[in-house]
Structure 1
């Protein structure tokens, strides 16, 4: 069953389609044939601006985790054979600090509906019974409704598609690499953190590049959203790291 055949979701998708088409028309004198791509970028910036309070909450939570790292490490040592007790004591510690161990997930969860709607908008040939105008748009000759994987394996890949996706992937990977190197918590470098095992650090490092992998499977419009998002997130985290510096492993105080 198609969930977007349900009246509430169909109305939501139709409204999103109308809003994006309207915004594309508004910026067309400025962007020409790439108006819809610019509209997607502008929507991304709007969403990210609305999520600034969530980003601040995430930065506060990261600062709290760095400060609590020695206590979390001690709890892990003390209750390593009692997983249930470890979970209870960890949650109790966070409650005492009025923080949440899941605060870092908020930006991802908040954006999930937006990326889902964008993904759907550029996959469907019809929206609420009428033709999908957005599929007629492109970015420098690369169709907004085509993913890199479908273009390559479907035999429809063009030089324009390869260049545009290549540029977006380069931006995403560069932002991920800078994030991994510059924003690594100081307590990962051998400090008192429950996340300092080599295996966990390798997983955390690989996760920085997951967005680039995801971007090759989604329509170009969604890849644009992802590229703008990772750049915004990098800049925002650098600014917020200065506002909410992490605590050094020595416990001597916060450090940028």
Structure 2
């Protein structure tokens, strides 16, 4: 933890001449961008895997016709097909899973009052008027929604809402295109697929809850990573109108 704190402080020192009091917040954004750059090869591999899975849809449709009345046999046949074609159905989750350690490091760093034997001075660092160790509830208690701290959170909520709306519309179009294409092959509907199709586009809005309840430093990571994901997926999946990334709502 102390090594990670030193990394954040070092980045903040480098950015201090430009961002001054908000240098630590800028360091968190830069750190998040660095993590996303490291994970980007996995995101590209996930997109390639999605294309490979899309190419298998005609074969899966045939398996559904053949084993539609036996779900266990159908599942086994689909898994064998993925294995034979060396396509992992879970590859889309890897970029999100590899980001979790970075998020939890930030969360714990800005949730603890001490680093080793010393007080955690990072908690007092701010994004404009809002301390990075505080939460939205703290901002509401110090000036309310439109107070100096509350306005910082409102800005983050606006960014998250814009990104979530973009993801909502895009995911809905992609799932609708995929469902329409699936319905054309005469294959049976997967049980529960309709409910998932309705709920999945809304998952992006759950990020608002995360931003509201975690320390501001961790919220900055979430907002930056979610925005990066929206742009990255729009680029990687631009030629796949019917493909929904397996981690489309995880950021």
Match of 1:59 in 2: 47
Match of 1:47 in 2: 35
Number of residue pairs matched by the alignment: 233
Does residue 192 of the first structure (1) align with residue 188 of the second (2)? no
Q: What SS does the aligned partner of 1:224 have?
A: helix
For residues 213 and 43 of structure 2, the distance between their equivalents in structure 1, rounded to whole angstroms, comes to 27
> How much does 1:77 deviate?
5.4
Instruction: Identify if the C-alpha distance between structure 1 residues 157 and 116 changes in structure 2 by more than 3 Å, giving closer, same or farther.
Output: farther
Q: Map Cα deviations across residues 110-152 of structure 1 (whole Å, 9 max, x no partner).
A: 0000000000111111011211121111111011111114544
Query: Structure 1 residues 30-39 or 75-84, which shifts more?
Result: 75-84
Q: What SS does the aligned partner of 1:100 have?
A: coil
Q: CA contact under 8 A between 1:141 and 1:161: conserved in structure 2?
A: yes
Alignment of 1:118-197 (within 5 A): 118-152=106-140, 155-156=141-142, 158=144, 159-182=147-170, 184-185=173-174, 187-192=177-182, 197=193
RMSD: 2.4
Q: What SS does the aligned partner of 2:87 have?
A: coil
> How much does 1:65 deviate?
2.8
* Residue 34 (structure 1) aligned to one of 1, 7, 22: 22
Q: CA contact under 8 A between 2:107 and 2:214: conserved in structure 1?
A: yes
TM-score normalised to the size of structure 2? 0.83
Match of 1:253 in 2: none
For residues 79 and 151 of structure 1, the distance between their equivalents in structure 2, rounded to whole angstroms, comes to 57
For residues 72 and 38 of structure 2, the distance between their equivalents in structure 1, rounded to whole angstroms, comes to 37
Unaligned runs of 5+ in 1: 1-12, 250-256
Q: CA contact under 8 A between 2:47 and 2:237: conserved in structure 1?
A: yes
Match of 1:5 in 2: none
For residues 93 and 108 of structure 1, the distance between their equivalents in structure 2, rounded to whole angstroms, comes to 25
Match of 1:9 in 2: none
For residues 173 and 71 of structure 1, the distance between their equivalents in structure 2, rounded to whole angstroms, comes to 39
Does residue 224 of the first structure (1) align with residue 220 of the second (2)? yes
TM-score normalised to the size of structure 1? 0.82
For residues 203 and 168 of structure 1, the distance between their equivalents in structure 2, rounded to whole angstroms, comes to 24
Match of 1:85 in 2: 73
For residues 43 and 175 of structure 1, the distance between their equivalents in structure 2, rounded to whole angstroms, comes to 20
Match of 1:16 in 2: 4
Q: CA contact under 8 A between 1:21 and 1:133: conserved in structure 2?
A: no
Q: What SS does the aligned partner of 1:231 have?
A: helix
> How much does 1:109 deviate?
0.5
Instruction: Identify if the C-alpha distance between structure 1 residues 104 and 68 changes in structure 2 by more than 3 Å, giving closer, same or farther.
Output: same
Instruction: Identify if the C-alpha distance between structure 1 residues 247 and 20 changes in structure 2 by more than 3 Å, giving closer, same or farther.
Output: closer
